[in-house]
Structures are given as C-alpha cells and as structure tokens.
Chain A
C-alpha cells in the first residue's frame, strides 16, 4: 500500500508571544529569527496514522511538504519517525499560495510521486486553521475524502475511518484511493528513535520545483489566490481589576453577584 502524507511547517505555537510579530500593512506574519518552524501537530498525527497502518501491513509512506529553506527539517523529522521517503516542494512561484493553490501543488506532486492508495493530511494547519487543503486535494484528484479521523484502517481497497462528530464518532468507509484528514483524537505521534534520526540525517531529500511537477504557474502563488486577507491584527490582552466592596463580607458578596449579573457574566 502506498500512503502519502502531506505535512506543513508552521511557527512554533509554543514560542514566546513577544516574538510573534506581524506586518499589519502587508498583512503578513514576520517570521521570528532564531526560532525554528515546527510541523503542524495535526500533520504529525497524520504521519502517526500512516505509520500505524504500516506497523500492521506492508506499506510505503511518503511525506510531501511545500516550503522554503527549512522544509527539509520537517521531512527529516518524519523520516526519523519511520516515514520511508520525503519530498520537498519549493519554488518562488509558490510564495503566497492560499489553500486552493497549495492543494493544487500538492496534488500535482502526488501524481508525480507515483501510485497512491491513501492520502493523509492533518485536519487543519495549526497556524491559519483554514482546514481546506485536504478536501481540495481530493477534489483535484477526483477521489473521495473523509475528514476528522480519529482512527484510520485501510485494507483491501477500502479505508475505514472513525470520524469525530460533536457527540461521539461515526464510522465511514470509502473506496481507495481516498484522502483522509486526521484529528487530534487519533492520539500522540510517536517520537523518533536513535536509529531513525541517524537514518533520516543520512537520507537525501529531493526538492521539486513548479516545473518538475508540471504546475500551471497561473494556478499558484499570490496571484492565483482566491482568498484574501482583509486585515491582520494582534490580539490585545487587556486586564482590568476592580475591587468590589461592602460593609460586611456578605454585603460584598451580594455586590459582587449584582456586578456579575450587570455584566451578564452570570
């Protein structure tokens, strides 16, 4: 079975907030210096889902990422976890791509990579939280998609997915090839092993350009974006303190309750 996992590097969600800067005019996030990007946690879980399938049966797992200079680090990390091959898609033409163009680029790369049975993505990237790429990849490839998986089993031409819904889960089956997006309920992704890390460090990682994967350049990059960022602002955290008093403790409590009611908190 050939499994493809799409992964994305994002700003480290655990970096100190003081390092998070934006250019409000250009509506862009300014990458902080000295803090390396990390793999979006949902994508790491998509890798985990692929490796769990590979644990149970003969399978080849290929990770694909689109990114710049540091994209190889993401691929190295998943190779160390046990992924067999990694591919980086990098081209200036990709800069400013939105979910549509990103999905187009990924689907072109997936087709070039060879035969595929199952394509796994994170449910959404933990930076912009759009959650569209997986579904659009399926659309581009003309295959079914099942979103929000907490368990993925693929055997004999079918994928069986436990899909998270608000009050539990439902079981969905789809014929392969198919796209499945993985949710955090799948559980922790495994840590790389010593041998895995060394093996990954040794592996050469191919970098494919727009031309390599036969991209129609009018469909990628900022120019092809169908979505537009209208405004980008940093959240302002305001703290207000107010001491509610009363003649007695009981009176203060009543005043507090009134205050809370007044502000529609209770």
Chain B
C-alpha cells in the first residue's frame, strides 16, 4: 500500500469533513485522521448551525442531514437573579427557518459518512502526533507511530490545534481569547418541548441569556431545543472565569436553578454532559492560515464569530473547509503546493463572509470586555421592567423618571451613552 495521499485532513469535524468531502468528490485521494473513537466523539457545540452553508455541499439541505430542529424562534433573554426580560423574535408558525439545532455525535458521524461515500478514507481512533517536514515544507503527518505523506495537509484539528502550533503558525491560546462552554443535554418528551416553547413539530427555538446565567462573569447562557432534548449551557471567557474564582459547572448549576430556566427544563433528565473551549478572540486571534503544504481551517484557525449574542462556529468551519478544498484543487492543477500557491486560501476567505464578518466585528471582542454587559444592564432591564409593570396603589412615575431612578448607583448617563456609542461602532 502506498502511504502517499493527495491530501491529509487532520480532524473529522465540520471543517475537516467539508474539506475532505469536496476533495474526495473531485477524485482526490484523501485521508482524514480523527483521534476520537468515532467522528463526533470529542466534538461539541452549543447546538446551532446558522445559515445556508451546508446547502453548497449538500444541495436540498437539510435533506437527510440529521438535524434536530430548524430554528424558527430566536430569543434574547436578560436575567436578574429572580426575573427576566426577553426580546422574542418568533417566526416558528410562518414556516420560515434559519439554521438548525444539531447533536454533534450524530451530525459529525453523518458528515464523515458522506466523506466515505465520496471515496475519502476516514481513520477514526487515530491521533495525528506531528507534522512531517521536508525542509520548510509540510509533506505529511505522523500518527500512531507511522508516517503518512501528502501533497497538502489541512489542519482542522480544533481549538487546540496541535498541527497549526507545530507548524509555528500560531501561538498558544491565551485566556482572554478563549471561552469555556459547558453544556447539559436534558431529555424531555417531544410534546413537552413543543408546548413549552410554542413550537411546531419541526421548528426549534434558540434562546440566548445574558446576566445572572454567568453571575456577572463575561459570557452568556444558551438554551436550544432538539427533537427530544434541550441543550442548556453557559459560555464564559476563560480569563474572566479565572479572575472570578467561580467554576463553570457551578454557573451552570445556578443557571438551571433560575426561576425562568427552571420552568423550561422542569421534569427533564440530564442525558449528556460536556465541556469544550471556543475561540472567541475574533480577528486578532486568527493565526497565519497557511504555509508550504499546510492549510488551517475551522476552530484551529479561530474562525468563530463572537458578537455577544451568539457564537457562530460551524458555518465558519464548513465555509473555511470548502475554501481549503478549493485551494488544494487549484494547487493540484498547478502541481504547486508552496506557500505562494496556497495563498489563494486567504483570498477565498477574504471574499466570503468568513473573514469579512470577522473584520466587520473586529472590535466586538473588546466591546464584550465591558463588565456592565453581564451584570449592570441585565439587572437594570429587569428592575426597570419590574417597576414599569408593577401596580402598587402608589402614584405612578413616567418611564424616564423610573429609568433615572433605577440607573442611580448602577450606571451614569455618560457611561450608558458611551457604551451605546461603543456598541454602535463595534456591533
């Protein structure tokens, strides 16, 4: 057997599988190595694939893609310790959908199957240990004590990318650039989910929380509906978490106890628990994306959009994976896998939403450092709503008076204006 492939993809997540699928369909000999026992075994998401990115690879999506529910309802929910204020965008009844909830162990396995159907080789349970070099050029990998050679290696090995680090394309993660997500999948009967969230049989809800869910720590909470379970979790910036001396598991526990959330998950049983790191540094964290013989895609390249509302990662992973495949195909035509030849990759990404969104929201990570977002404002919103809706037999005040009264001691008008302007320019 020859150990030389056209391309070796490290990591069978959405980025790696998208690359491998496209390359295999073009007739290239592709090897995907995945260290998990099966594709998806080690992968985690909060739960939503946004946008139409899968359509380009799998026309007619969702088709047979194992999605849970199509998102028809988006909610942003601000939490104080005992109440909540929500902005609820609901199109569940209209038939319009945008994005899908997924469970990764099923979804990633399905993706890897598509790679195999296209003729790619998926070797699970095999960890890529190192890159294989010839001078300054990457010419393959070593895995399980054996060497495997290829014209191009695609590092799609996730947030802690060993391959990109070994290639010297990126430095180690720093705590201000990375979030920690913890999640429980909570089993509930299908009918209970549809009734509680006002959903039809195929539609789903995505709820994002800000405030008490992280007890004021930089981050947020999420709740997504699957077919017969809910994905509930918190995502917090690692640096802020370390400084707070709190643990993300404890945050998740108190989040579950919040009166608003408690009702959503009532009667459910936790069937799965997971934790993972998420790149959240935006553009400033994106490493060099290629070198001779090597491309970096997905979380490995920190291609995740964090705007404070949600984290978009899988669509960025798939899009970058497809761009990596297109780059390799072009390089193959020229039979030139040098840095110069592979620089097409960056151009493709710069022309797509991938780098454009990261550029547009370049300042978002800095804006999100603002502590008031996670405590002051959610509390203020809840308190203000409480005052607005309370009828207590005393003479009422006008809205602006109430607002001033609640802002007192929390935030000054100038701070509020400044944060507003800063939000305008960064979000």
Which residues of chain A have a CB within 8 Å of any CB of chain B?
A: 18-19, 33-36, 73, 77, 80, 192-202
- Is B380 in the interface zone, CB < 8 Å from A? no
Residue of A19, A33, A36, A198 ringed by the most chain B CB atoms within 10 A: A198
Residue of A34, A77, A196, A199 ringed by the most chain B CB atoms within 10 A: A34
Name the one of A18, A77, A194, A202 contacting B1, with C-beta atoms under 8 angstroms: A202
Contact with A along B1-17 (1 / 0, CB 8 A): 10100000000000000
Given contacts A33-B106, A193-B145, A194-B146, contact A201 B271 (CB under 8 A): no
- Is B121 in the interface zone, CB < 8 Å from A? yes
- Is B148 in the interface zone, CB < 8 Å from A? yes
- In Å, the complex CA distance between A105 and B326 comes to 48
Q: Is chain B's binding surface mostly helix, strand, loop or mixed?
A: strand
A197 pairs with B123, CB closer than 8 A: yes
B271 pairs with A202, CB closer than 8 A: no
- 5 A-B pairs with CB atoms under 8 Å apart are A192-B125, A192-B126, A194-B144, A195-B3, A201-B31
CB proximity of B10 to chain A, nearest CB, Å: 13
Given contacts A73-B38, A197-B125, 16 further A-B contacts (CB under 8 A): A33-B106, A34-B103, A34-B105, A35-B105, A36-B38, A80-B125, A192-B144, A194-B126, A196-B144, A197-B123, A197-B126, A197-B144, A198-B123, A198-B146, A200-B123, A201-B123
- Is B318 in the interface zone, CB < 8 Å from A? no
A198 pairs with B126, CB closer than 8 A: yes
Number of interface residues of B (CB under 8 A): 25
- In Å, the complex CA distance between A80 and B121 comes to 13
B126 pairs with A19, CB closer than 8 A: no
Least CB separation from B270: chain A residue: A18
B125 pairs with A202, CB closer than 8 A: no
- Is B269 in the interface zone, CB < 8 Å from A? yes
Least CB separation from A12: chain B residue: B37
Q: Is chain A's binding surface mostly helix, strand, loop or mixed?
A: helix
CB proximity of B311 to chain A, nearest CB, Å: 22
CB proximity of B307 to chain A, nearest CB, Å: 30
- In Å, the complex CA distance between A196 and B1 comes to 11
Least CB separation from A194: chain B residue: B144
Least CB separation from A80: chain B residue: B125
- In Å, the complex CA distance between A243 and B265 comes to 36
- In Å, the complex CA distance between A192 and B37 comes to 12
Least CB separation from A35: chain B residue: B105
A198 pairs with B38, CB closer than 8 A: no
Which residues of chain B have a CB within 8 Å of any CB of chain A?
A: 1, 3, 31, 33, 37-38, 103, 105-106, 121-126, 142-146, 148, 269-272
CB proximity of A180 to chain B, nearest CB, Å: 28
Name the one of A18, A34, A192 contacting B106, with C-beta atoms under 8 angstroms: A34
A198 pairs with B37, CB closer than 8 A: no
> Which of chain A's residues have a CB closer than 8 A to the CB of B143?
194
> Which of chain A's residues have a CB closer than 8 A to the CB of B124?
197
- In Å, the complex CA distance between A200 and B123 comes to 8
The list of the 6 closest CB pairs from A to B, nearest first, reads A194-B144, A194-B146, A195-B146, A34-B105, A197-B123, A194-B143
CB proximity of B319 to chain A, nearest CB, Å: 26
> Which of chain A's residues have a CB closer than 8 A to the CB of B271?
18-19
> Which of chain B's residues have a CB closer than 8 A to the CB of A80?
125
A194 pairs with B145, CB closer than 8 A: yes
> Which of chain B's residues have a CB closer than 8 A to the CB of A19?
271
CB proximity of B375 to chain A, nearest CB, Å: 35
A194 pairs with B269, CB closer than 8 A: no
- In Å, the complex CA distance between A36 and B105 comes to 10
- In Å, the complex CA distance between A65 and B419 comes to 64
> Which of chain B's residues have a CB closer than 8 A to the CB of A35?
105
Least CB separation from B143: chain A residue: A194
CB proximity of B144 to chain A, nearest CB, Å: 2
CB proximity of B121 to chain A, nearest CB, Å: 5
Least CB separation from B38: chain A residue: A36
Least CB separation from A195: chain B residue: B146
Name the one of A18, A33, A193, A199 contacting B269, with C-beta atoms under 8 angstroms: A18
- In Å, the complex CA distance between A247 and B103 comes to 58
- In Å, the complex CA distance between A199 and B143 comes to 13
- In Å, the complex CA distance between A196 and B106 comes to 25
A193 pairs with B146, CB closer than 8 A: yes
- In Å, the complex CA distance between A36 and B40 comes to 11
> Which of chain A's residues have a CB closer than 8 A to the CB of B269?
18
